[in-house]
Every structure is written in structure tokens, then in C-alpha cells.
Amino acid sequence: MENQDFLNTLSNYRNLLWPIIEKKIEEVNKFPDFCRLDKKYQRELDFHLKIVSDYPQRKGKYLRPALLLLVAEGMGAEREKAITTAAAMQISEDWILNHDDIEDDSESRRGKRALHKIYGNELAINAGDALHVIMWKILFDNFSIMNKELAMKLIEEFYIMLSRTILGQGIELRWTKEGRYDLSEEDNLLILESKTGYYTIAGPMRLGAIIAGASEKQLKIIYRFGIMLGRSFQIIDDLLDLTSDFSGQKKRGNDIYENKKTLMLLHLIKISSEIDKKLISKILNKKRNEKTEEDVEIIVELMKKYGSLDYGKKMAQKYAKEAKNIFDKEMNFIKIEPYRSQIKSGIDFIINRDH
């Protein structure tokens, strides 16, 4: 029931934000007179809008902008003051996913073919670039609704958050390219902190808190909370990748096809027998298009055999418990209802979700 309540919360915020996001995207082809395209190029303009709009139109859960708004409102900020930043947060996810899909050569996104599989890498990258530019434009719109100091602080937080996220992605891509299987749990947590803890949880919440006038101490507490919940979020996401097709929207075992160094895979490689290590290595050293569903099934069954899936569940529960403790004991500055209770429902949703 709590999961459904939080899904309703996400849906409400998505319905609130989408018209704002849609309007900003539709402005992508609006130029001043000195550089406006001639009407004879309308076909090119229409196609550009179509491809740039593709991922945003597919929509997602809107978890990140929802967390931003829940914290802002939970700390007493007016929704109208936070709505623009929330829209920028969602657009950031759309261009990051676009580029991630190309880097990972993913087959699908949100139940449809990945953009680069439809239009090719070059046009997909360009569409992602356009969304990236739109994101910054939306953030600069804050200067018209709040004081300059606060608008600049939000841009600075966005810069730090995205820089850390991109660094984490770069490290993971390099380790994957190098075929590294000697990674430690600390190495894995570095990736989780950069790509999930900060970007998915702590970043949006810090942005909302900054809008509400949070102190540096409060922002640091939010970061610690986000890192713990982000670890749990990503481990559960990786577990679902191994055991679910996300309600038919994703290929099962996609992380194995892409050679993602998940906590469960690292655990398996560490404790498996020499014979099984050779089998695992043989499968993982195949190129994506050479791997089969049988290969994925072999890895998953070995994870069951060696308790890697159970280990992942145990660690996800551990980090979730730590996050809950921080929220209950240290984050009472988010006190306005129903927003505090909705955030708490969000914690349970992240931990117990099945897609």
C-alpha cells in the first residue's frame, strides 16, 4: 500500500512538471531574428524537435525531481520557487540516460528501443547535447524567480553533482574497458556514491534543501543519508536486473551483457571455485552481441549457488537501515507534513520496489 501511495506521489509531481518541461523543449528551435532558420528548413527543425523530445516524452518515475520538491516543501519553501530546478533535474536524467545508453550500447530505454538504436550514435548524441543545453537554460531561469545568490548556489550544486556523476561514469567505463575483475567492495561503493548516492538521492534532496535555506550542517547530513540510501537503491536495481525484466521494459541480465561490475558479480568472482572462475571469465570476456540468454542464466545460477544474490540483499538492507536511522534521528529539520511522511514512504518504496 505504501509503495502505491508513493507511486501516486511521483505521478502527481510528474503531472505537475511535464507541462513545464514540454514547453522548454518546444522552445529548442526558437531563435532570435539574426540567426533564425528559413522556413524552407522546417523539415529539419521538426526532426530536431522530434528526436530531442523522444526520451523526455517516454517519461520515467520522476523520483529525482520528486525528492527535490518534497524536501523543499518539507522545509517550508514555496513550490513555485522550486519547480524550475525540479524541471532541470528531470531533464538532466534524460540527457545522461541518452549518453549512457550509447556508452553501454543498451538495447532499450523505458520500454522502447534506445535512441541510438533508432537513429544512430551521432544523432542520439546530438539530441542528448540539446537536452544538456536546455537543462542549463532552465536553471538560468531561476534568476527571474529568486535572488541572484541563491540561483548561483543552485547552479554550483548542479555543477558539483554532475561533475561527480560524470567522473563516476568515466571510472566505471575505464574499468570495464580494461576488463578489471579485481575490484574491491570499496571500488564498487565509489561508483555507487558517484552515480547513485549523489545524483539520484543526495543531489536532488540537497537542491531542495538549498532552496529552503538549509545550513551547511543540514546539507552534509542529507549527503550522508543519500549515500546510504543510494547504495541500497543501486544494489536493489542491480538485483532486479538479474531477477526481473522490470515489467517487460528491460532485458533481464542487461548488466551481464554490459559487463557491469555489480556487488553481486564481484562477490561471485571473489568466492567461486577456480573451475567456475574460468567459466565466468569465458562468458564475461565475450562481446555483448556474442553473449546469449544461456550465458546470463549460467551467471545468475552461479550467483545463487555461491550466495551472491543473498549477499546483495543483505547489504542493501544494511545500507537501507543506516539511511532510515539518519532520517529518523538527524533529519527532523524536514518536518512539514505530508512531505516528511511522503519522503519516508519513498525510502520504503526504494527498498521494496519490484521494478
Amino acid at the residue 253: G
The rounded distance, in Å, linking the Cα atoms of 275 and 259 is 20
Q: Is the pLDDT confidence value at 93 over 80?
A: yes
The rounded distance, in Å, linking the Cα atoms of 96 and 98 is 5
Interstrand relation of 108-109 and 112-113 (parallel, antiparallel or unpaired): antiparallel
157's grid cell: 550544486
Long-range contacts of 340-347 (CB under 8 A, 24+ apart): 340/74, 342/5, 342/6, 342/9, 342/70, 343/67, 343/70, 343/71, 343/74, 345/2, 345/3, 345/5, 345/6, 345/9, 346/6, 346/9, 346/63, 346/66, 346/67, 346/70, 347/229, 347/320, 347/323
Amino acid at the residue 315: M
What pLDDT digit, counting tens, does each position of 282-303 carry?
999 898 889 999 999 999 999 9
- SS3 of 10, please? helix
Q: What's the rounded mean pLDDT across residues 90-108?
A: 94
Contact 127, 97 (CB under 8 A): no
What pLDDT digit, counting tens, does each position of 159-193 carry?
999 999 999 999 999 998 888 888 888 998 999 99
Contact 302, 201 (CB under 8 A): no
* Confidence at residue 250, expressed as pLDDT on a 0 to 100 scale: 59
Query: CATH 1.10.600.10: does it fit domain 2-352?
Result: yes
* Confidence at residue 289, expressed as pLDDT on a 0 to 100 scale: 85
What pLDDT digit, counting tens, does each position of 234-285 carry?
999 999 999 876 555 556 788 899 888 899 999 999 999 999 999 999 999 8
* Confidence at residue 176, expressed as pLDDT on a 0 to 100 scale: 85
195's grid cell: 552515480
Q: Is the pLDDT confidence value at 75 over 80?
A: yes
The rounded distance, in Å, linking the Cα atoms of 91 and 180 is 32
